[in-house]
Structures are given as structure tokens and as C-alpha cells.
Amino acid sequence: MRFSLIDGLRDDEFCIFFSKSYQELFARIYNSDFKCIKIENSEKITYLPLIIRKLKDHNYEAFSSYGYGGLIGEKIKLSNKDIKSLKNFLCKKNIHSLFIRHSPFLENHNLWPDELIEANRITYETSLTFSSDYISFKKTLKQKIRSSINHTEKSNFSINYVEKPIESSLKDFYELYLTRMNEISVEKFYYFDYKLFKGHFEKFSERCKLITIHDSKAQIVAGAIFLCDPKLKIVHYHLSASSREGLRHQCNELLISYAIFIFGNEGYQRIHLGGGIKLDESDGLSRFKRKFSNNKKVFYITKLICNPDLYFQTRSSFKIKNKEYFLIGDALEKK
């Protein structure tokens, strides 16, 4: 097995989460660099896109970007011997640890040894089909979802599907996102800046769509960015937010239902809604996404310590706030 570092993968080559443009967007958020490990045997080539975060001089950790990652390309099943070689390769690059967020919709966790994958949570997926019109489509939905949509529409909320949003529309959605993050008191990481949102529509505008819900005064109350993978015929529910008014009037039910309708009519076969919070599906986010799902996936992670001495020495040298976090950069007490 041969390993080498390359700059990244073409945007149209594989799934959007693995592309150079996507990696570049989030590398900036992590204040880090991004690379891709090229893995070759005598017959096949596969890739492992990574964010490379510097912790100290000549001291790094590597991980999948926000979203999903893991191996992409030709399918190479890694043996324990291959893992040992990968560890040695990373050690030579002063990378002491590796954290992988495997892709549930690609099921690429199967390419790693079983003992190196860990179930983290359930994600939800919906099959898409063509519908002649939205009224006909609504009749195919579950009764509870139809009731929610009818309530939202009777309350004079409207939906807007935007393929190329003007800046004012994107800023309105971004402000809604920030407000929601404040309301639910998320970790500092999730307070993405506007440059990240705008970057989605600058770097891969043809594969990035915005759906928003508005009240009778044309004020945004809910919205989401969807990422499209035409080759895979799959759409990803990506960044979303709702106001308290939007939640009260069940606007998210209208938003997801309309996304299922519109992307099905555009020829996509699946929409991946992402996961909830708990593996046992007992949280509210899991219950919400499960309503729309007709297929479940398990989201797996891999934690790999390549250089134990350096990893634990580095960990002990920092002020660790979140001791349960594997990645040292995530576990640090923020200034």
C-alpha cells in the first residue's frame, strides 16, 4: 500500500463533502490547512480528505471536515497491516491522531477494520420520486405531516425556493441562523461567520440551493441550505434555522416536505436529512427527522492514535475543558 499527500479533489469528481472547495471553506473555520491522502495498491486508488490542524510546532492532528468524510474513490478494504502503514505515514508527517466521520449514505465505514469503527448516531434518509404537482404530492405524505403543512399554509406562510439567492436573502437567512444558535446556546464552533454562508454560493453555486419560509409580512421564519450531488443523485440537508414563530407554526414540516417534492422532480433519488443527537433516537431532532424518513443509516466514526506518546503528551500540555473529546483542538478551553 502506498500513501501520499495531495492538495485536494476536483469539485465535480466525487461527493461534495469531499471536494477541494468544500474542504477549503471549512479549513478556514478550523483555522487549519486541508490535504488529501492518496492511497494506492497495485490495482486501485482511493482518497481520504482531511483537515490538518496545527497544535504546536511540528505537532498536528487530522480529521474529517464538518459534515461527512472517510474514504472515497475505488473501494479498497483496509487491513490491520494497512492501518499500521497509515499510522506510520501520518507519524512521519508529525500527525499524531486521526478522527474520521464516515459517510452514512456512502457506507464507507465498511472499508475499515470492524474494531476501528464506532456507532455514533442514526441518520435519516428519504427516497425521492417525481410528482405531477404539489397538491398530488401532499396526498402521499403521512397524515400528521399533511396536517402540519395545512396549518402552516392556512396561517399565511409561504415558501421560496432559491437556486441563486441575492445577498440580502442570504443575509436574512444568516441572521436567522445566528439568532437560533443563540437561543439554543450551541458551542462556539457553530457560530459560523457570514463569509462561510456566502462561500457556499460562490464556490459551488450550481450545487447549493436555499429554501426559505416567510410569514405574511415577508419576514423569514425558517430556512435551510441544501447541497446537491447530481452524480450520486442525492441531496443533503445542510445548514438550517427557524425562528420561534416558525417552530410554533410547524414551518419546518413545510420546508422539508417541499424539499422532498422539488428535488424529486429535479431527478434526485434520495435526500439525506442527517442525524439527531442521540444514538438511541430519543431526542427531539431525531424524532423530527424520523417522521420524513423511509430509511435509516448508522453514522460511524473512527478514532486513531498514530503516535500515543506525542498525543498524550500534547494533550496534557494544554488546558483541556471537554475531556470527553478525542480531538485536542476541540477539547481545549477556548480563550
Contact indicator for 326, 317 with CB cutoff of 8 Å: no
166-193 confidence digits (pLDDT tens):
899 999 999 999 999 999 988 888 999 9
pLDDT confidence tier of residue 10, bands split at 50, 70 and 90: confident
Find the length of the chain: 335
Q: CA dist 307 to 42, 115, 211, Å? A: 28, 18, 45
Q: What's the first-to-final CA gap in the chain, in angstroms? A: 42
Cα–Cα distance measured from residue 94 to residue 41, given in angstroms and rounded to the nearest whole number: 24
Is the predicted pLDDT of residue 335 greater than 70, yes or no? no
pTM of the model: 0.94
pLDDT confidence tier of residue 281, bands split at 50, 70 and 90: very high
Nearest to 101 by CA among 300, 273, 297, 236: 300
pLDDT, average across residues 32-57: 96
Instruction: Tell me the sheet residues that pair with 48.
Output: 37
Nearest to 303 by CA among 103, 36, 101, 133: 101
Is the predicted pLDDT of residue 261 greater than 60, yes or no? yes
Cα–Cα distance measured from residue 150 to residue 333, given in angstroms and rounded to the nearest whole number: 47
**Average pLDDT taken over every residue of the chain:** 95
Instruction: Tell me the sheet residues that pair with 47.
Output: 38, 72
Q: Which domains does the chain have, with CATH numbers?
A: 2-121+300-331 (3.40.630), 129-268 (3.40.630.30)
Residue type at 14? F
